[in-house]
A and B are shown apart, each in its own frame.
Chain A
Amino acid sequence: MKSNKFWMILFGALLVVSGVATFLMIDMPQAVYAQIFIDGALVETINLSAVSETKDIVSHGEGRYVRIVAEPGRIAIVETNCYLQLCKRQGWRNSGVIPIVCLPNRVAIRFTSANLPDIDGVVG
């Protein structure tokens, strides 16, 4: 009888611990990181979920100019001196498999998150 009680308490405790752990994992918001590459080199990684106030990143030199702004949960290229401004036209982004790219200024913003679709590459 005492033996049964011991095993019940042990497995009960295990169930409670695993249940709490599962609940915490499911409830935990997945962080989205924006990685900023200039000339192919990673210059900054920003946890968009943890940004509390506006953050400015400016890349300039050799005729290039790009201003990136990160706000809580999102990021955008807000100013650029390239002719077509295709990167700026992409607007604010909070995630995505497709990076924000400014080819003339050689700047790219890529997103990493456990929530992103399970995709290795994008064509088209």
Chain B
Amino acid sequence: MIRKITISLIITAVLCIALVACDFDDRSGQQVRVTEPRFMLDTYVILTIHGYVAESVIEEAFDLIAELESLMSITIEGSDIYRINGSNGKPTIVDPRTIEVIRKSIEFSEISDGLFDITAGRLTRLWNFGENEAIPNETALIEAQKTVDFRQISILENTVTLSNPDAWIDLGATAKGYIADQVASFLIDNGITNALIDLGGDIKLIGSREDGNPWRLAIRNPFDQESEPFAAVIEVSDAAVISSGTYERSFEIDGIRYHHILDPNTAMSILTDVVSATVIAESGVIGEGLSTLAILKGSEAGTEILKTHPGFIGAILILEDGEIIEIGDVGRVA
């Protein structure tokens, strides 16, 4: 009898140890996940890092975002862009990182024949999507439209000059992607191997999830977010995933939808068959530029540009009739 009790106790103990061991092993595999949200860049920023990470690294990453925002914001007084726009056509000395973003933006302007144009600053401020839901005065729109032309930007070493003193630069279509790239580089330099940098839906990924699988991202459904919030789910590692959409920052008047992606030729929202463009790219700045380009150029011409652009990995375009087009490697799982 004593022998049986002893055996049963040993079995119970072994089972308990096995259970605890499994649990312990699971926890050590998961490591620590830190998720920190902030309101920055006029959006909701979330840094998710897993592994062993010092609190100071996260704070320094947020400091870096704030620093870059203070250089590239169109509204922050004293920023590089604010000073260029207020320079009355005189050369303005700016940070090399601002020049890098301006140069990259000009490349997108060139390949889109000027549809993508960072000198549309006066137009974007007139519309002020996200904070305003009214059509601006027509005369003001025409005056603002006259100032748009990326060819007027000249860069000499660390100075930027706009030949039209009335023109304004707005880096809203490229800066967030660039900032995501800079934060990713900073985190990698500080030993972070797995992170998700979410700048209000512009996402840069380092490494993978805790379980070693790629990060899982959902793409918003542009049509019916109540009953079906996501149009697709993709798995991605070590890349940027950036979306642009005509349903974001938009409003409707008399059955016409006005959205924030503007056509410099008309000063109005671009007419396009692409409602949502999600681009997976090697860098955030490329992803951001290409996702906007896909909207501006439409599905046919946009696809051609995307497929041949260096750093492009894949894209999911959602058209106005609901069709979903996959280009390249998108890692779609749902």
Which A residues are in CB contact (< 8 Å) with B215?
Answer: 120-121
Binding site for A on B (CB under 8 A): 4, 8, 36-39, 42-44, 46, 48, 130-133, 196, 198, 201-203, 209, 215-220, 222, 225, 229-231, 233, 241-243, 245, 248, 276, 278
User: Does A124 count as interface, using CB distance less than 8 angstroms?
Assistant: yes
Most chain B C-beta atoms within 10 Å of own C-beta, residue among A40, A97, A106: A40
User: Does A37 count as interface, using CB distance less than 8 angstroms?
Assistant: yes
Q: Are B8 and A10 in contact (CB under 8 A)?
A: yes
Determine which of B196, B231, B248 lies in contact with A121 in the assembled complex, contact meaning CB atoms within 8 Å.
B196
The docked-state distance in angstroms from the alpha carbon of A119 to that of B130 is 26
Q: Are B276 and A124 in contact (CB under 8 A)?
A: yes
Q: Are A120 and B48 in contact (CB under 8 A)?
A: yes
Determine which of B36, B201, B229 lies in contact with A40 in the assembled complex, contact meaning CB atoms within 8 Å.
B36
The docked-state distance in angstroms from the alpha carbon of A40 to that of B39 is 6
Chain A interface size range: 20 to 34
| Known contacts A123-B241, A124-B201, A124-B276; A103/B229 CB under 8 A | no
The docked-state distance in angstroms from the alpha carbon of A13 to that of B61 is 55
Q: Are A123 and B48 in contact (CB under 8 A)?
A: no
Q: Are A121 and B44 in contact (CB under 8 A)?
A: no
Q: Are B219 and A120 in contact (CB under 8 A)?
A: no
The docked-state distance in angstroms from the alpha carbon of A77 to that of B230 is 23
Residue of A nearest to B45 (CB): A40
Which A residues are in CB contact (< 8 Å) with B132?
Answer: 83
Most chain B C-beta atoms within 10 Å of own C-beta, residue among A37, A98, A120: A120
Q: Are A123 and B202 in contact (CB under 8 A)?
A: yes
Q: Are A108 and B243 in contact (CB under 8 A)?
A: no
Which B residues are in CB contact (< 8 Å) with A39?
Answer: 39
Determine which of A84, A117, A120, A124 lies in contact with B220 in the assembled complex, contact meaning CB atoms within 8 Å.
A124
Residue of A nearest to B287 (CB): A123
| Known contacts A10-B8, A40-B38, A84-B133; A122/B44 CB under 8 A | no
Q: Are B219 and A124 in contact (CB under 8 A)?
A: yes
The docked-state distance in angstroms from the alpha carbon of A99 to that of B43 is 12
